[in-house]
Each structure stands twice: as structure tokens, then as C-alpha cells.
Amino acid sequence: MKDKSLVSTSKFLSLVLRHQPEVVGMQLDEEGWLEINALIDAANQHGKQLSLELLHEVVATNDKKRFALSDDGLRIRASQGHSVASVDLKLAETTPPATLYHGTVAAFIESIRSTGLEKRSRNHVHLSTDEATAIKVGSRRGKPIILQVDAAAMHQDGHRFFLSANGVWLVDAVPVEFLTFP
Ligand code: HQG
């Protein structure tokens, strides 16, 4: 019962903090933050039960550490995964490991072969540091196919890499020449 409300609250927070803050009548600030007290009030006014305790429990126990609190503990944001175009997480550019991975499915391969990896509806292409994580990401859509990304060569070529607070590598795009298909 408790796990169910943690999962449903995590899904609610993902929706509001990544994609559609307007469902509770709110707007993310330019770095993606919302005031926690205002969010709790707005959620409750829109029929979603939320308390400070529940929000803190979701932040602390979330399997992917999807949400982060500001240093003063007054604000919350999603660490990655946004589609709200105005959000700039202001992450520092970082040198990536030599190889990164992207989990996808067969239906997308032909298109990826022609255009490389594109960010689609989100603000970035998401890459994983290890194959096991990429397998999990791809499995959300079916039988996973893992693409290897030559991050060292991309970085060398001037592409910018950012590491989210929860360990996901974010890039603008991956041109096809940096991809290895299985
Ligand atoms: C595909 C989850 C056709 C791409 C995960 C992917 C991740 C193309 C889909 C995070 C393409 C976009 C993000 C092209 C890319 N042609 N298809 N040129 N380029 N694609 O959900 O990486 O659980 O936006 O392969 O763990 O699947 O939500 O990206 O299948 O970190 O926290 O287009 O979401 O995190 O899908 O997943 P998504 P993703 P959470």
C-alpha cells in the first residue's frame, strides 16, 4: 500500500517536474525548481494528496534518485528527463568516460541509422554509463537493443556532455558516426 503511494507520487512528481507543471497550475523556474510548500498546496488543490513527509520519502527512496532538493531544502526539481523547453539545469560541462551506452528497441534502429540519436520530446539524449542500465532503459519499450557511443571521440569533436545529479549523461544529439550497432 505504502509502496503504491510512493510509486504514484514519483509518477506525479515526474509529470509535474519534467513535463507538465501546468496540471497543478504551476510553472518551473528557469533551472527547473518548484517551491515545495507551493507544490504541496497546488497538488492538494488539484486532488493529488501530497504531504511534506511523503515528498521527502519519495526523494530519499526513489530507485533512480529522480528528484533533488535545493541546498536550503525549500525547493525540488527533477534531476533529468525534462521536456519543458525553458528549463536549463545549468549543469557543468564534464568530460565523459570513453564509452557510453544507449538502450533502445528494434523499431527505432532504421531511423537512428539515418539520423543518429535525437532528443525527441525531451531536452537531451540520455546515455548510460553501463550496459546494464541501458538494458533497463531499452526494456521500457520491449526487447532492448544496446548502442555503444564513442563518447571520447564525440567529446574530442567538440560535443558537450553533462552529468545529471543522478548519474545520467546528457547530450544534445549523437551523430551516427559515433554509434556502434550490435
Ligand atoms: C529513440 C528514463 C528514432 C530513443 C530512462 C528512445 C532514461 C530515436 C526514444 C530516460 C531516434 C526517446 C530517457 C531516432 C532516439 N529515430 N528513434 N533518430 N533517436 N530515438 O524516453 O533514452 O525512468 O525520451 O532510442 O531511464 O528512452 O523516466 O528517452 O527510445 O534515463 O526516470 O527515441 O527516461 O528515466 O525516448 O529514456 P525517451 P530514453 P525515468
Residue 62, ligand 1, Cβ within 6 A: no
Q: Is the CB–ligand 1 distance for residue 126 below 6 Å?
A: yes
Residue 103 lies in a domain: yes
Residue with cell 556502434: 180
> Is 88 a domain residue?
no
Segment (H or E) for 7:
helix 2-14
Evaluate whether residue 93 is within a structural domain: no
Residue 84 lies in a domain: no
pLDDT attached to residue 16: 98
- As averages over each run of 10 residues, the pLDDT of the chain (182 residues) reads 83 98 97 98 96 96 95 97 97 97 98 97 97 97 98 98 97 98 96
Number of domain units in the chain: 2
- 78, 111, 126 — which closes off a domain? 78
66 ligand 1 Cβ < 6 A: yes
Domain contains 92? no
Provide the 8-state DSSP code for 69: E
Q: Is 170 in the pocket of ligand 1 (CB under 6 A)?
A: no
Q: How far is the CA of 52 from the centre of ligand 1 (A)?
A: 31
| Closest ligand 1 atom to 117 CA | 19
pLDDT at position 3 is 78
Three-class SS of residue 100?
strand
For residues 62 and 108, state if they share a domain: no
Q: Output the domain CATH number for residue 148.
A: 3.20.170.30
Residue 121: domain span: 99-180
